[in-house]
Structure 1
């Protein structure tokens, strides 16, 4: 069998081969990766789930997906950050916005998602989430995803519609920060998205 070397023939474009994971695999160096936690499987509150399913974030209906680690590792080896494409023997391929919209059933042709980056974040959190992050849970304009999960994990037995919507906003923030638009830290989400969730019925208006 003829083996295809992972590196580029012409190094003028793909210049990061020495730091690429495929280089380690080719040289027999053990590589490991850790997929992101599929957090929406941890949502067990039916009232919160019903609220979220009536928003633009209906991707919760996708359900559990079996992760094929071998396939993911192969795709990681083929991914080139210089061109944002997968480089296969048959040619290049990449994910398009149409693919994302089709797979996740989210709107992509609506209003631009933008927001404030300077406000009283603690007041915003108490108004829309019902709780204020303390200490390093809130760093600048970003809040920890683990704090959102820990704080809004269990819905009180006597929860009214306001509390249910607060828990729904917290979970949607986790979807945004942990899945749709992840922060490089892997554990924080920008609070600029929170005001856009004040009226959950308007989420369909945004891309």
Structure 2
């Protein structure tokens, strides 16, 4: 693996692939655009989302958890959004957190990702550019609404994919700081 900023630190890495092929160029050409990618994750990878959320749940009270993927926006964005939503965080805050990612991807990172596609001779369509550089609030909002229609809630979706009620309670305890919510 490549050198890492966490080398030498006391860090446990959990490699939990959501896609069979983690190559972003391959994914972009298979599922062009955010909506098809997110639909694929929700339809086909619910158990993997639950596995990632279990890592958050398992954190000791004094530990931090960093969730990340290649860009830190799609797989990471869904894991974090689903964890926050299931823990009871206000939906507007969940969506705003997700959408803030796009600003962090501008410039050098975005240029490097588009260069990967160009080096492989892959023509960048508008859907592919969106897939690798954007995190529009309306895409996550539509996905959350779809899950609400089909499952009743994010919590129900996660429970249907293997999360237990006890784990759901622990997720809320891990994410929500009671002192911050006290009135």
Q: TM-score, normalization: structure 2?
A: 0.26
* Rg (Cα) greater in structure: 1
Q: Which has the higher helix share?
A: 2
Q: Which has the higher strand share?
A: 1
Q: TM-score, normalization: structure 1?
A: 0.23
RCO higher in structure (CA 8 A, sep ≥6): 2
